Structure 1
């Protein structure tokens, strides 16, 4: 029963993603992130960033690849099939219906205006996805340099029509990622005085609210506090 409920939930989640997302590809990232990370919490934001990178690098639409991975993680092979089918089904139904009245559909002025509005919405979804993914990126100099360089490179390729194959870009990104991962790590900074205060390595000390409070010294089973009260110290 629990498995059936999970499959039903996966189907409805990805059916909504496929139904209400226009533009496909990157426009769907923001919607998928909202549904599977923020709402359902199927995966973490860091893992979602890896899923997007993997889905974009492998053949096939990013939405289907992402749904297949997430569905497999949550419900195995059947979960992957259910999720992949659900995300494709709305598009299939809509395109099939439009194809029946394609010539009449193109002549509708309302449809033309609707598509222009959808194009603006797609741009907003892509920008929103970029900002959400940026939040999960580690904030350091290397990350900022990679983001700036890759953005400028993609902009130059588009503006100057360099015609560089996507395959080369994927291989280059893979090489840079591997190089960054295996780069020599800098030595960790020495612990500060505050860090030392918070440590509890010494069994004779107690850490309370970040301050070290030393235990009263004991002599022959009698604490210093007791002897002071008796006037023996």
Structure 2
């Protein structure tokens, strides 16, 4: 019975947490603190901290943690399956529709119209991060320019685009360069 409750609780979290991990936090709290009292509020805040620190989506990490805490490894698997099942079904359905109708001109025109929007979203996020790194949040003051950040950005950009260096290696080198700058300059 507890396995079914775990599955159904995290199925609801997976189904209704539209908007990303932070949108799922109230749903998770409602299921595990309020509805089932599997965790106290203090344990829940610890859970969210751990779920944010570990790689992967917050909802999936939370499901795994709660499942292990309540019933052990089998509970972790069942809760995680409950959380990912809605996404798995929706993505599978969309993939089926795409492969079935990929040559239909209406679908191609819809996808073509979405490409600029996706590029704009990615560029907007990138420019926001670049603004934060270069100007440290204060665009008006030229004196606030982080020249080390600019240099590291340019070096990473050249390494990735021109020399096709591995992105993970590039990130490690950027982290080491920033650490060096902050410690010795």
Extract structure 1 runs of 4+ deviating beyond 4 A: none
- What is residue 133 of structure 2 aligned with on the other side? 162
Which residue does the alignment assign to 1:53?
49
1:1-233 equivalences in 2 (<5 Å): 5-102=1-98, 104=107, 107=110, 160-162=131-133
Does the residue aligned with 2:38 lie in a helix, a strand or coil? coil
From the two aligned structures, give the one with the greater helix fraction: 2
Counting matched residue pairs gives: 115
Whole-angstrom distance in 1 between the partners of 2:10 and 2:73: 16
Alignment partners' CA distance in 1, 2:35 and 2:53: 26
Normalising by structure 2, report the TM-score: 0.55
Q: Any idea what the Cα deviations from partners look like across 1:37-90, whole Å, max 9, x if unmatched? A: 111111011111111111111112111111111011111111011001110111
d(CA) in 2 for partners of 1:51 and 1:59? 14
Deviation at 1:161, TM superposition (A): 2.5
Give the superposed CA RMSD.
Answer: 2.8
**Secondary structure of the residue that 1:101 maps to in structure 2?**
helix
Shift of 1:32: 0.6
SS of corresponding position for 2:56: coil
Partners of 1:158 and 1:51 in 2: CA distance: 28
- Give the drift of 1:106: 8.1
Q: Distance in 2 between matches of 1:25 and 1:16?
A: 14
Maintained 8 Å contact 1:98/1:105: no
TM-score, normalising length from structure 1?
Answer: 0.44
Cα deviation, 1:82-119, whole Å, max 9, x if unaligned, reads 001110111000011012223539839xxx9xxxxxxx
Distance in 1 (CA, whole Å) between partners of 2:13 and 2:63 is 10
| Structure showing greater Rg | 1
**Partner Cα separation in structure 1 for residue 28 and residue 110 of structure 2:** 33
Please say if residues 14 and 83 of structure 1, whose CA atoms lie closer than 8 Å, have aligned partners that are also in contact.
yes
**Residue-by-residue CA offset, 1:139-198 (whole Å, 9 max, x unaligned):** xxxxxxxxxxxxxxxxxx858321899xx9xxxxxxxxxxxxxxxxxxxxxxxxxxxxxx
Shift of 1:23: 2.0
Where in structure 2 are there 5+ consecutive unaligned residues?
115-127, 135-148, 150-170, 176-185
After superposition, what is the alpha-carbon deviation per residue over 1:187-227, rounded to whole angstroms, capped at 9, x for unaligned? xxxxxxxxxxxxxxxxxxxxxxxxxxxxxxxxxxxxxxxxx
> Whose strand fraction is larger, Structure 1's or Structure 2's?
1
In structure 1, stretches of 5+ residues that fail to align are 113-156, 169-233
